Amino acid sequence: MTSPTLTSPPPQTRRRHGLVALSAVLATALGITVASVATNASAAELPVSQGKPATASSVESAAFSASAAVDGNAGTRWSSAFADPQWLQVDLGSTQAISQIVLNWEAAYASAFTIQTSANGTSWTNITPVTAGQAGVQTLNATGSGRYVRMNGTTRATPYGYSLWEFQVFANGSGPTTPTPTPTGPALPTSDTPDLGPNVRIFEPSTPASTIQSAVDSAFNAQLRSPTAQFGSQRHVFLFKPGSYGRVWANIGFYTTVAGLGLNPDDVTINGAVNVDSGWNYGDESNATQNFWRSMENLSIVPEGGTNRWAVSQAAPMRRVHIKGNLTLAPSNQDNGQGYSSGGYLADSVVDGVVSSGSQQQWYTRDSRIARWDGGVWNMVYSGVQGAPANAFPNPPHTTLATTPVTREKPYLYVDSTGKYRVFVPALRRNSAGANWPNTAGTSIPMREFYVAKPGDSAARINSALAQGLNLFFTPGTYSVNETIRVTRANTVVTGIGFPTLIPTGGVEALNVADVDGVKVSGLTFDAGTTNSPTLMSVGRAGVHTDHAANPISLQDVFFRIGSSVQGKATTTLAVHSDDTIIDHMWAWRADHGGAPTGWTVNTGDTGLVVNGDDVLATGLFVEHYQKYEVIWNGNRGKTIFFQNEKPYDVPNQAAWIGPRGNGYAAYKVADSVTDHELWGGGSYAYFNVNPSVRVDRAFEVPNRSGVRLRSVLTVSLGDVGTIANVVNDTGGSVPNPAGNTTPRNVVAYPWPMI
């Protein structure tokens, strides 16, 4: 979300067919201990098709040859002529017993195709039924044999051809596996009193207040009206050891974290404020709509004047905080016809007084306790919040659930009574309500069981740490990743402080989590690199459905950007294949502005989130500006509590943005095959400022089944710039709404009446 008054780059004139793809030193210093855990390594299973001769019915051009789909490189692809039917086949060299086919489709996929085998390349036998394709990775189990295997496409899903990044054939019961990195070199150093790097300042109650104030002022003032700070490399973390601190007024800018080091929030008390307001950010001084990438965690505040201000927008979580007074979420200039803030997240917290949302356009609060909530603009959502307002959407716009179905709070750093550092991992809760402290159930892990990563560490070194059985703790900074970081051990904790940012190079996937129990990933930011990555992060394996309900994988405060300080490209930012995964506060953002230029053909990205797993829960889902379906939900029994979206600003013209079902792409797409899905509190907004004549036919696209239920969903045309024709499918009416400028269309329940 940015201010609607900002301008985007001029429209691009080149027609866009770029339907880009989903796609050791031992320490000797005193106090250092070395942890080493033996791990069995296994190599990845290669497809029998890789590198074999391939032919096709046609190619779009010489740049998209058939061989590109079997070269093992997910950055090259085969693309056909723009007609039906088309085929791609591979000669395995000998007859093979086929067990599995993996297709990595570009966005131009087949809506109908079969897999066929042949002994001679002439007579063909179907070994799968007619199958619907899907953008991204699709895995098919198959039984049959032959020397030749082909994908025979009969119907295209788009006006373009058929396009495959990879066509992989597995034989004799083999299938793709996630390799476990092999430990190389000596064991990596760990410590219970680690060096967290130069970007982390640690304070004690005995630290003079003037020293603390000088440190926080220095960090903030360097960003004050700076044209480079928003996408800069600066990172600041201020950690407070248990105790009470005299007057501290901490203004918080980009990539800044303030956190307590107690086991409970009340172990650290700050008298003064941890303050976020408008008026400081270059180019957006009148608003708070770009107050991104900052956080406050695990402390208590006695606010000066009785009220603490936290006027933030996306990627600015407040977790595990006790406000001993009131809390306002809007900027100080909100009463002057400006001063909007847009899209925050509050969880596992207590506010003794009133929460005032003011000009905050949408907000999600989870598992907290408040005295009262005042205000609401479009979409205010609460789950498990004691003291929340009654459910009343749309007037006032409150959507309230008594409990949250499944929660696992974010791991956090603390210091014990002996001065050693530990990470506390809260336990899973079901049907939860209220803050999860004090007396939080969970597990405390000593820091000697973590590898503390620092900027400059290679992906190979980080993978070596994982192979030793260590958890990962990322310190603030940027990390260039030239190979995929692979998490293969159950219950591994991967966490970071201060917005550590992973940037893949060469089109690799930055982070891959295997389909194992209980992995926790939190506090990481991903920037797409200049070479397109099919995916920036994936969880599990496509087509694999393992029951993880007792110990799910959880993701918390994970943020993705396509376009920032680099002109990034990624087809899909996050793909979730594992069943029962918890996504708790995610912002996936294809940038409408950045430190590097942005534009329709520059920072390309199709989809923010693809969910293939069953029983996946998203709480606090923010996905914005992608060029196709922004969320694609293929798994069954999925649930989303709070969804916030803006359509891409920079669509050059309608012809460049035609989806499978008409004008544009829905923000939230539930696959036609899904029989059970629920969404509470979803908003999608249009601001087509490059070409205001652009329209999208619907914001939410779902199958018409009684088991697919949406509650409290809405659309808005920001400043009445651009059209969303319907809210859900063909229901809900159009925005701009004749009732007035930036007036939403609301659908209380779909289908109606709710079954």
User: Of these residues, 60, 409, 646, 701, which one is catalytic?
Assistant: 646
Two structure tokens written together for 358: 């003011």
- DSSP assigned state of 214: H
Q: What is the DSSP string of 265-308?
A: GGGEEEEEEEEB-SS-STT-TT--TT--SEEEEEEEEEEGGGEE
Q: Nearest-CA neighbor of 579 among 516, 622, 491, 672?
A: 516
CA of residue 506 relative to chain centroid, distance = 21
Which secondary-structure segment (H or E) carries 556?
A: strand 554-562
The number of beta carbons lying within 10 Å of the beta carbon of residue 755 is 9
Calpha distance 310→328 (Å, rounded): 6
Calpha distance 425→411 (Å, rounded): 4
678 is catalytic: no
Calpha distance 135→660 (Å, rounded): 12
Name the β-bridge partners of 564: none
Helix (H, G, I), strand (E, B) or coil at 166: strand
Under 8 Å between Cβ of 747 and 719: no
Under 8 Å between Cβ of 150 and 115: yes
Helix ranges restricted to H, 296-358 = none
Helix (H, G, I), strand (E, B) or coil at 414: strand
Under 8 Å between Cβ of 4 and 687: yes
Calpha distance 295→658 (Å, rounded): 38
- C-alpha distances out from residue 283 to 224, 254, 255, 650, Å: 11, 14, 18, 19
Two structure tokens written together for 549: 């309900």
Calpha distance 52→633 (Å, rounded): 34
Q: How many CA atoms lie within 13 A of 204 on its CB side?
A: 4
Tokens 């490399």 — which residue? 233
Taking only Cα atoms into account, the Rg of the chain, rounded to an integer number of angstroms, comes to: 25
Under 8 Å between Cβ of 610 and 581: no
Two structure tokens written together for 408: 């696992």
Calpha distance 297→283 (Å, rounded): 28
Two structure tokens written together for 731: 């229901």
Calpha distance 218→230 (Å, rounded): 16
Under 8 Å between Cβ of 368 and 349: yes
Beta strands 708-717 and 745-750 are antiparallel
CA of residue 277 relative to chain centroid, distance = 25
Beta strands 658-659 and 662-663 are antiparallel
Catalytic residues, which ones? 646
